[in-house]
Amino acid sequence: MKLYELVGRDKNIGFSPFVWRVKLALAHKDLNYETVPLHFTEIKDALSFANASTVPVLVDGNNIISDSWEIVCYLEEAYPDRPCIFSDHHAAKLFNFQIGMPLLAPLFRTIVSDIYSVIHDMDKDYFRTSREARIGCTLEEAAKDYEQSFSTFKANLVPYSQFFRREQYMGGAGPGYQDHALYAMFLWARATSDKKLLEDDDPLTAWILRMDKACNGIGGKLKKIE
């Protein structure tokens, strides 16, 4: 299996939260794969064979699958004898939408200038133009005003802190899709930013430590791109 992923200026460190969802799913199912590292400006050409303009793309034999959700669904169907990722398929699908606007969007604004500092020079112009259009201000303005989006992010994390005060994983006895998707978001920040997102006594911090050990410990090994 081949997984196309997004890397920063260090080719060995992938940082896309969507690719991380797939890596965690592959580890959950204990499936072997190799990665193909891509910079932002290489994605379009490299993935034209898959008719995709975003990573992740997974190639498994003759099957070419794009979009992280579709890939995880594919893995569940193609490898039913391996541990199950979804405890409830519909709840997992809903979760994608639930974390997009309230969490991924404000976190993106919080760390967007940090991401800019760790991507390859070849990607800088593309990233600046596309992301400034998306956030409606310059990267420098976003860096200066990050506290506002950071407090939105923290406020929207409260239900998860409350949940993890009582529970170990969203998947029940062990991690499932929702754990992977939320944790992947923290891995995105871990690879790109020095900002401390959580207090030490936040129940989410203890859950992240559990997730660092889950899925063969792949997330726990992730370092920031220097």
Binding site for ligand GSH (CB under 6 A): 6, 16, 18, 40, 43, 54-56, 67-69
CB of 44 to ligand GSH, least distance (A): 7
Are 65 and 78 within 8 A, CB to CB? Answer: no
CB of 168 to ligand GSH, least distance (A): 26
Element (H or E) spanning 49, and its range? none
CB of 70 to ligand GSH, least distance (A): 8
By C-beta, is 43 or 92 nearer to ligand GSH? 43
CB of 43 to ligand GSH, least distance (A): 5
**Best CA proximity match to 25, nearest among 90, 65, 61, 69:** 69
Alpha carbons 117 and 107: distance in angstroms, whole number? 16
CB of 68 to ligand GSH, least distance (A): 3
Alpha carbons 27 and 67: distance in angstroms, whole number? 18
Alpha carbons 58 and 19: distance in angstroms, whole number? 10
By C-beta, is 185 or 202 nearer to ligand GSH? 185
By C-beta, is 185 or 197 nearer to ligand GSH? 185
CB of 90 to ligand GSH, least distance (A): 17
By C-beta, is 5 or 202 nearer to ligand GSH? 5
In order, the DSSP letters of 103-137 are IIHHHHHHHHHHHHHHS-GGGHHHHHHHHHHHHTS
What does each C-alpha distance from 187 to 31, 122, 164 come to in angstroms?
20, 23, 18
Q: Which residues contact 180 (CB under 8 A, 6 or more apart)?
A: 20, 21, 24, 25, 28, 85, 215
By C-beta, is 72 or 214 nearer to ligand GSH? 72
By C-beta, is 47 or 215 nearer to ligand GSH? 47
